[in-house]
Structure 1
Amino acid sequence: MTKEWIPNLKLGQDYDKNYRDADIHFDQLGAMADFFGRDMPVHMHADYCQIHFVLSGKTQFNIDQNLYKTAGAAIFYTPPATPHAFLTEADAPGYVLTLHHSIISNIADDLDSIKQSHFLILPSCIDNDAINPVNKFAFDSTIALMELIKSEWKNELSHKSDALLGLIKVLLLNIFRLSTADEKSNSRSRHEVEIYKNFNLLIEENYKVEKSITFYCKQLDINESRLNYVCKKVSGSPPKTIINNRIILEAKRHIIHANQSLNELSYYLGYLDPSYFSRFFQIKTGFTPSEYKKLNSQG
């Protein structure tokens, strides 16, 4: 009997449709537990990492077949496309922060020395009761950062997106500092997931100039049918859709937050013909770039 592949949960589709196109999602652990349950079976988020902050109570967290058990405050980091399951006590307080993989990649790009150490590629469990006393400040400041993120998320202040990204960058750095690459974290994950992760890393580095499947297959040293199989198995989408989604995500960010002309945005994303890019954007989103800007600039 063929075992069913691990389901890919899309929070913007399966849980909170207000954030269908968002690359950041924040919520209370209790609110998500009320929807999904405290005993969450194995699942993954193909294009997103997750950070669970459990403030008290016993927790069992399985990340990529690594079982972590904690009895108090703890932080669990799950990289993108990584199978995980967890059980928390009823009414245990906490938060869940979900981030598109591009945020991790962009921060890694800013930190060349850390990028060589595979910045937040491995899963981790940071148990407050088990950390070195020297690192206690870093743990407490990480929890404090979550409270600041919560405040920014709830309020519509000026430069909200910039503030969130700044806080998230420091938070991720803290998690990286507190993480230890123990034997559990170094266990091999499914081969298909590794291919999918590497494909996304290549997209992040090249999507502005390389949009053909042939290029990525050559870099990964696999044929197109194999890459197509892996991408559909892990995320449910073919490789071309994943590349296009990354381009559209960046386009949306720039349309909303950057004061660029259509020509400037097209060239930035590797399209020499702005008219072609505008048609491409409209086919993928249902709006022209100007319509999308107007839609997202309305109060």
Structure 2
Amino acid sequence: MINRQEQNSADGSIAVQANGSVTITKYGLDMAEVKELTEIFLDKHLPALRAEAEATARKHTKDFIDEFVKKLAEPNTVTPEAFAKPDSQACFSSALLSSAEKGDQIDLKLLASMVVARLGSDSDPLLKLVYEESISVIPRLTKQHIAFLTFILFTKHISINNPTPETLERYATKLFPLISPGFQLSTANKEYLCSKGVLILNLVADADTLLSNYQQNIPNFPMSELELNIQMPSISAIVKNYRSDSVPTCFLTASGKLVALSALETILGKLDMSIWIS
């Protein structure tokens, strides 16, 4: 079970797939039209830049478009009609401008993936709005910020059905490179995340129960910190930083969840975002 949604999974599997069937249609956007739109956009926004700055901005946008086209080439639910809508093109233009301004500071692959996902969620009004909000904030988040949001998501919003110490450690190890850069995030950075609308801090909130929950709900889970460190080093590091980073006082907003989920997709594959955003 994940985030209070009922799903069926085999023992030891992480319940992240969508319920029921996933509708996949072959993408039908005319990429010539997309590239033409890009050129019109660049011609409008770049003239004020000096030549060297314009060249850098164009390179950044090309890198973004390359990632965007790669993502569109994968199975998705994007339709030409969805892309033709004004709000969809505004979202695309916003991402394009962000890539031009900060292309070397942004995870362009993640940004492109979220834009494609936004185009594919055109029939879900809430998810569409949350995607638009998340896409607007991504260029203003560092990799450490995204890692911290993903750290919160993993510890507070994802559970494994019928877990064992071995399966929990396996998934923690798989996700550790994505999560660990977020360890030891400063208070100022957390406050910054709050200002961007992806995090809420409540200093008198939840108690630190992560370790006790594992010990009570997972058979044969190590009962001492020494055993935990030896047998489950990834979970041991996560438990320690969950405490030292005051994660119990941190709560993700809908946009924060979507950013973290989009990051998780890079490792776990396609997720049904409506499970968390509904």
Same structural fold, with TM-score higher than 0.5 when normalized by the shorter chain: no
Higher strand share: 1
Q: Greater RCO between the two (CA within 8 Å, min separation 6)? A: 2
Higher helix share: 2
